[in-house]
Amino acid sequence: METPILTKSGNLTESRRKFIEKAGASLIISTLGAAFFTSCVSSDDTNPNNSNPPGNSSSGIVISGTTITIDLTIQTGLNTSGAWLLIQNATTLVANVNGSFVALTAVCTHSGCSDNWTFSNSRFTCTCHGSVFDPSGRVLNGPATSPLTQYTARVSNNTLTITR
């Protein structure tokens, strides 16, 4: 049986209630898993940078070994600056920063949280303890002291390829 790809996106907290209303709780549980419900509430609800997220679907995302490919004709929301995605299965953060894609490990260098991220104003925040990183992974605020590993992210023919 194929393992479903689990993702979170920029409007996760905003979408929770709407998602439940539209899709029903059983669909969310089956497609996103319990981790969806364990994430921290973020301040992204009001952040205009997160107004065009790629959505919570994993459609168009393929993980193969150390490579992740994202079909940008399916994950169309990622084409907008400020959109972002957490690919939970691959512990990888992806964001569109002013038209350029960045990809980073989602494993926080503070104490290893990988599932509780927000992205706003071109900053990733690990909400486990509040560490903040810039799009290249550098620490802007602790408690983390080491940068996040940055991955190669290239676009060709509407396909974003991330090499970890």
Interface region with ligand FES, contact rule CB under 6 A, candidates 7-15, 56-64, 82-90, 127-135: 127-135
CA 7-13-14 angle, 5° bins? 115
Q: What is the dihedral of CA 53, 44, 118, 90, to 10 degrees?
A: -30
Measure the CA dihedral 98/77/118/13, to 10°.
Answer: 150
Minimum CB distance to ligand FES, residue 136 (Å): 17
123 binds ligand FES (CB under 6 A): no
* Bond from prior residue into 143 cis (ω within 30 degrees of 0): yes
Q: Which residue's CB is nearer to ligand FES, number 8 or number 55?
A: 8
Question: Is there a contact between 2 and 31 (Cβ–Cβ < 8 Å)?
Answer: no
Q: Pick from 29, 41, 43, 129 the residue near ligand FES by CB under 6 A.
A: 129
Contact characters 70-109, ligand FES, x per CB under 6 A? --------------------------------------x-
Question: By the criterion CB under 6 A, which residues form the site for ligand FES?
Answer: 108, 110-113, 126, 128-131, 143-144
